């Protein structure tokens, strides 16, 4: 695929904009625009997809950008740098919602993009198990990136509630929230066992949360 210099420069510019929000805390402006990195990551990735590139490759890049941002915020939480799990999850959820909306609109405006995706309800999404994707490196890279993404979401949650007094019903709510990421992860690896794997992941997370939190009644 021939790419002109203008397209390359535009792509570089979009990634630079993401980089600005990624390191926004270094500017010491005491503003929380750094969280916008989750949303801004969607722009260069969909620019690449819109140019007609493999959507699985585009989503692989998106997952990597989200992972980098999550690692930044996880380190910030560990170092007590004014990073809040609520805001992390909020902006990540918003970015996922925006990406889903784009996945419903972009292939409709450019039908050529539909040939590399499958329609799920209103959304045109790449199916990692489709024989269309013949590059094994991209396929395995997508699976690994998806796995790391889910776990990098769990880690800041654990850091935030570790050793905190939290009742068992609240822990169950946390586990229920992660059912959808676990379903996605199970589908990516073993779709025929996705229900069983999701249940297994949920049980493991529940046990881990029980071990790392307190009920608040231990000292009574």
- Which pLDDT score, from 0 to 100, does residue 31 have? 83
Strand-pairing partners, residue 120, are 123
Is the distance from CB of 59 to CB of 6 less than 8 angstroms?
no
Hey, what's the torsion of the CAs at 89, 59, 49, 34, to 10 degrees? 30
pLDDT tens for 52-68 read 788 999 999 999 999 99
Contact partners, residue 152, CB within 8 Å, separation at least 6? 67, 70, 71, 74
d(CA 168, CA 188): 30
d(CA 220, CA 44): 54
- Which pLDDT score, from 0 to 100, does residue 98 have? 96
- Which pLDDT score, from 0 to 100, does residue 216 have? 59
d(CA 67, CA 60): 11
Q: Where are the beta strands (DSSP E) in 101-160?
A: 118-120, 123-125
- Which pLDDT score, from 0 to 100, does residue 155 have? 86
Tens of pLDDT along the chain (220 residues)?
A: 556 788 889 989 999 999 999 999 888 887 889 999 999 999 999 999 988 788 999 999 999 999 999 999 988 887 766 778 888 989 999 999 999 999 999 988 888 888 888 888 889 998 898 888 888 999 999 999 999 999 999 888 887 787 778 888 888 998 998 999 999 999 999 999 999 999 999 999 999 988 888 775 655 5
Report residue 127: phi and psi, to 5°.
Answer: -100, 110
pTM value is 0.90
pLDDT tens for 102-129 read 999 998 888 888 888 888 888 999 889 8
Helix (H) or strand (E) holding 125, with range, is strand 123-125
Count the helix, strand and coil residues of the chain and give each as a percent rounded to the nearest 5.
Answer: 75, 5, 20
């Amino acid at each position: 695929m021939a790419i002109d210099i203008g397209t390359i420069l535009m792509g570089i510019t979009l990634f630079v904009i993401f980089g600005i929000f990624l390191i926004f805390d270094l500017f010491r402006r005491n503003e929380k625009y750094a969280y916008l990195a989750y949303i801004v990551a969607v722009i260069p990735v969909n620019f690449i997809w819109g140019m007609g590139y493999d959507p699985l490759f585009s989503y692989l890049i998106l997952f990597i950008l989200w992972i980098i941002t999550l690692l930044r915020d996880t380190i910030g939480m560990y170092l007590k740098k004014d990073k809040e799990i609520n805001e992390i999850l909020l902006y990540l959820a918003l970015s996922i919602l925006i990406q889903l909306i784009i996945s419903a609109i972009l292939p409709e405006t450019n039908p050529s993009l539909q040939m590399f995706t499958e329609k799920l309800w209103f959304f045109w999404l790449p199916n990692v198990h489709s024989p269309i994707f013949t590059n094994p490196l991209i396929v395995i890279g997508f699976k690994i990136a998806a796995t790391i993404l889910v776990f990098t979401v769990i880690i800041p949650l654990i850091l935030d509630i570790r050793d905190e007094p939290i009742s068992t019903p609240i822990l169950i709510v946390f586990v229920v929230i992660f059912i959808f990421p676990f379903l996605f992860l199970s589908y990516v690896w073993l779709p025929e066992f996705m229900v069983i794997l999701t249940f297994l992941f949920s049980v493991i997370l529940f046990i881990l949360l029980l071990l790392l939190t307190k009920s608040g009644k231990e000292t009574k």
